[in-house]
Structure 1
Amino acid sequence: MRLSARMQKKQWHFLSADPIAGQLVDALKIPPLIAQVLVNRQVKTPEQAKSFLNPKLNDLIEPEQMPGIIPAVDRIEKAVKDKQKITIYGDYDVDGITAVSILLGLFRLLGADVDYYIPHRVDEGYGLNIEAIDQIARAGTKLLITVDCGITAFDSAVAAEEKNIDLVITDHHRPSSDGKVPRAVAIVHPNLDKNYPAQFSSGAAVAFKLAWAVVNRIKGKSPTPPHLKEFLINATVFAAMGTIADVVDLRDENRIISSFGLRAISESSLPGIEALINAAGVKSKTIDSFHIGFCLAPVLNAAGRMGHARLAVELLTSDNALKAVRIAEYLKEQNKQRQQLEKKIFKHACSLIAEKGFNHPDRKTIVLASDEWHTGVIGIVAARLVDKYYKPTILFNVANGKSQGSARSIEGFDILAAVAACSKHLNSFGGHTMAAGMTIDADKIDAFADDFESCAAANWNDDEFVSRLDIDAVCSLAELSVPTVRLLSTLGPFGSGNPSPRFAAKGVRLSASPRIVGLGGDHLQIAVSDNTASVKCIGFGMAHLEKKLLENEFFNIAFEPQIDDFYGEPAVQLVLKDIQFE
Structure 2
Amino acid sequence: MIKRWVFSPPNRPLQTEIASKLKISPLLAQVLVNRGIVDVASARSFLQPQIASLGDPSLLPDIEKASIRINEAIRRGERIVIYGDYDVDGLSATALMYRCLKLLRAQVSYYIPERLEEGYGLNADAIQKLREEGANVILTVDCGINACREADIARACGIDLIITDHHRPGQEIPGAFAVINPKLHASHHLFRDLSGVGIAFKLAWAIGQLFSPQKKVSPDFKDFLLSAVGLVALGTIADVVPLVGENRIITKYGLSALQHTEIPGLRALLDVADLSRTNLDAFHVGYRLGPRLNAPGRIGNAGIVVELLTTPCKERATEIANFLEQENKRRQEMQVDIMASARKKVLHELNLDETTAIVLADHAWHPGIIGIIASKIVEEFNRPTVMIAVADDIGRGSARSIPSFHILEALESCRDTLLSVGGHAQAAGLKIHPHNIDEFRDMLNRTTAQRLCKTDLVRVLNIDAEIALSLLSKAVVAELARLSPHGEGNPIPLFAVTNAKIVGQPRRIGTKGQHLTFYVKQGDVAVRAVAFGMGEQIDRLKQNGRMCSLAFTVKINTWMNGEQLELEVKDLKFDDE
Q: TM-score, normalised by structure 1?
A: 0.96
Structure 2 residue 46 is the aligned partner of structure 1 residue 60: no
Distance 2:234 2:408 in 1: 24
Partner of 2:464: 472
Q: Which moved more, 1:444-453 or 1:339-348?
A: 444-453
How far residue 520 of structure 1 moved from its aligned partner, in angstroms, is 2.2
Residue 281 (structure 1) shift: 2.1
1:335 and 2:350 matched: no
Q: Distance in 1 between matches of 2:524 and 2:240?
A: 37
Letter in 1 for 2:164: T
Name the counterpart of 1:565.
558
Between 1:140-149 and 1:196-205, the stretch displaced more is 196-205
Cα distance in 1, alignment partners of residues 154 and 547 from structure 2: 67
AA partner of residue 380 (structure 1): I
Deviations 1:79-129 (A, max 9, x none): 111111101111111110111111000011111111111111111111111
Say which of 206, 211, 231 aligns to 2:204. 211
2:179 aligned residue: 187
- In 1, Cα distance between the equivalents of 2:72 and 2:196? 24
Q: How far, CA to CA, are the matches of 1:298 and 1:37 in structure 2?
A: 30
Contact map agreement 1:537 1:576 (CA 8 A) in 2: yes
Deviation at 1:45, TM superposition (A): 2.8
| Counterpart pick for 2:523 among 531, 535, 540 | 531
How far the C-alpha of 1:465 sits from its partner, in A, is: 4.3
Q: Secondary structure at the match of 2:497?
A: strand
Counterpart secondary structure, 2:505: coil
> Cα distance, 1:199 vs. partner?
1.1
User: What is the distance in 1 between the residues matched to 2:44 and 2:261?
Assistant: 27
Matches within 5 A, 1:135-174: 135-174=129-168
- Runs of at least 5 residues in structure 1 that lack an aligned partner in the other structure: 1-7
Provide the residue aligned with 1:10 in structure 2.
3
Provide the rounded CA distance (Å) in 2 between the counterparts of 1:222 and 1:172: 25
Superposition deviation, residue 272 in structure 1: 1.1
Contact 1:244-1:495 within 8 A present in 2 as well: yes
CA distance in 2, matches of 1:33, 1:96: 38
| SS of residue in 2 equivalent to 1:123 | helix
Structure 1 position 224, deviation (Å): 3.4
Are 2:41 and 1:39 aligned?
no
Q: Specify the alignment match of 2:447 in structure 1.
A: 455
Question: Does residue 314 of the first structure (1) align with residue 314 of the second (2)?
Answer: no
Q: 1:257 aligns with which of 250, 263, 282?
A: 250
Change (3 A) 1:283 1:108: closer
2:110 is aligned to: 116
8 A Cα contact 1:412 1:465, kept in partner: no
In 1, the alpha carbon distance for the partners of 2:125 and 2:421 equals: 18
Structure 2: 5+ residue runs without aligned partners?
Answer: none
Is the CA contact 1:412–1:464 (under 8 Å) kept in the aligned structure 2?
A: no
Q: Which residue of 2 aligns with 1:106?
A: 100
Q: Is the 2:546–2:574 contact (alpha carbons within 8 Å) kept by the matching residues of 1?
A: no
- The Cα RMSD (Å) is 1.4
Partner amino acid for 2:70? Answer: I
- 3-state DSSP class of the match of 2:562? coil
Three-state SS of the structure 1 residue aligned to 2:487 is coil
Show CA shifts across 1:533-573 (max 9, x none).
22112111111221111247011111111121122122221
The residue number in structure 1 matching 2:539 is 547
Q: Helix, strand or coil: the match of 2:202?
A: helix
Superposed CA offset, 1:211-241 (max 9, x none): 0111111113175333212210121111111
Structure 1 CA distance, aligned partners of 2:276 and 2:523?
37
Once residues 11 and 478 of structure 1 are traced to their aligned partners in structure 2, the CA distance between those partners, rounded to angstroms, is 25
> What do residues 253-300 of structure 1 show as CA deviations (whole Å, max 9, x unaligned)?
111111110111111111111111111122553111111111110110
Q: Which residue of 2 aligns with 1:5?
A: none
Aligned counterparts of 2:529 and 2:268: Cα–Cα separation in 1 = 33
- The one of 271, 284, 296 aligned to 1:303: 296
The share of aligned pairs that are identical, in percent, is: 39
Q: Secondary structure at the match of 1:520?
A: coil
Distance 1:284 1:433 in 2: 36
Q: List per-residue Cα deviations over 1:288-334 (Å, max 9, x = no partner).
A: 11111111101101121121111111111121111111111110111
Q: Displacement of 1:349 after TM fit? A: 0.9
Q: Deviations over 1:469-506 (max 9, x none)?
A: 00001111122211110111121110111111111111
Q: Which of residues 390, 397, 408 is equivalent to 1:416?
A: 408
Instruction: Give the corresponding residue for 1:77.
Output: 71
Which SS does the other structure have where 2:19 is aligned? helix
In 1, Cα distance between equivalents of 2:214 and 2:178: 25
Contact 1:152 1:175 in 2 (8 A): yes
**Alpha-carbon contact 2:267-2:276 (below 8 Å) kept:** no
State the TM-score, normalizing by the size of structure 2: 0.97
